[in-house]
A and B are shown apart, each in its own frame.
Chain A
Amino acid sequence: MSQELLLVVAAALFGIGVYGALSQQTFVMIMMGLELMIAGGILAIGTFWAQSAAGSPKGQVLAIVAMTVMAVEAALGFALVIAVYRVRKADMTEKLKRLKG
């Protein structure tokens, strides 16, 4: 698959992620949308690394940073879901009209 097509795949993953993050009502499903967006980003980084940057190791470091962001996002997201659920018994965005505890 050529570089252009791989970038189109990455764009498709990102677009689906945008759709999911904006349209879903459940917190955890919104997080899935965010993760798909980061996955598209990582695929684009990998594509550029392999086909435009001559395999420079710094490109892999950038991808590792993106993966760290993904892990941080997931972990803090889960923790926030639990914290909000404890106080509000809410697992959907529609149930939260205000953020004050």
Chain B
Amino acid sequence: MIVDVLSWVFGVGSVLCAWRVFRADSMVRAAYWLLAAFVFVGLLLVLLTAQFLGLVLILMMAGEMTIMAVFMVMFMMNPAGLNPMTMVHQHRTSIAAGVVAFLGLAAVGLLGSFPERAVAAGARVTRETGMELLGDSMVVFETAAVALLATMIGTVALASRRGRAGDAYEGSVPPSMDPEEAK
């Protein structure tokens, strides 16, 4: 009963917060609305007995949204959200695409028939996941780890101003035609 009520609250909350993301006047607020949506999704996962996944999602998104808020402060033009802000293009097409995506996926969810095999009541889910990650699915786990390592390297390479071989933009400037300057 209480689980049912809570899952309604979290489900409706996540959709409302997700909707507010693109209606907030300040981008920092948008970042925190997104964080709220993710927290609700994480709590829904916890209610579905995937406690590990839910908490990892919440922790990860808390860090990411804080970084995102800093980014917003760096880039945005309307810091305090004092003025109404809409920065959209192809608005009608986007709304149509979003509605079509929602209706299509919701139809799959409502009309499709899925097997009714719920998690067993006393299942030690987190332990099983750990055994799976470091057992049969280790290759998947390690691949994800290597992908994250590659991302770290790629991020630094993309964002740093100077690479190992000098300025990143040196090579992109055509050399001068003046022989004196080219030296």
A residues at B contact (CB < 8 Å)? 1, 3-20, 22-29, 31-33, 35-36, 39-40, 42-44, 46-55, 57-58, 60-61, 63-65, 67-68, 70-72, 74-76, 78-83, 85-87, 91-94, 101
A78 to chain B: closest CB distance in Å?
Answer: 6
Number of A-B contacts (CB under 8 A): 256
Question: What range describes how many residues of B lie at the interface?
Answer: 35 or more
Question: Which of B15, B54, B60 contacts A12 (CB under 8 A)?
Answer: B15
Query: Residues 11-52 of chain B: 1 if any A CB is under 8 Å from the residue's CB, otherwise 0?
Result: 110110011011000010011001001100100110011101
Mostly, the A contact residues are helix
A36 touches B21 (CB 8 A): yes
Q: B62-107: which have CB < 8 Å to A?
A: 64, 67-68, 71-72, 75-76, 87-91, 93-95, 97-99, 101-106
A31 to B31: give the CA distance in the assembly, Å.
11
Q: Are A76 and B154 within 8 A (Cβ)?
A: yes
User: How long is the Cα–Cα vector from A9 to B21 in the complex, in angstroms?
Assistant: 16
CB distance from A41 to the nearest CB of B (A): 10
Known: A42-B53, A52-B116. 17 other contacts (CB 8 A): A3-B114, A6-B48, A15-B101, A18-B97, A19-B95, A22-B94, A23-B89, A23-B90, A28-B27, A28-B71, A32-B21, A43-B41, A49-B50, A58-B132, A61-B140, A74-B64, A79-B155
The distance in angstroms between the C-alpha atoms of A12 and B90, with both chains bound, is 20
Is the beta-carbon distance between A63 and B50 smaller than 8 angstroms?
Answer: yes
Which residues of the other chain, A, contact B89 by a CB distance below 8 angstroms?
A: 23, 25, 93-94
Give me 14 A-to-B residue pairs in the complex whose CB atoms sit less than 8 angstroms apart, sorted by A's number: A7-B106, A9-B44, A19-B22, A29-B30, A39-B38, A42-B53, A43-B45, A54-B117, A55-B119, A57-B132, A60-B129, A64-B56, A76-B158, A81-B71
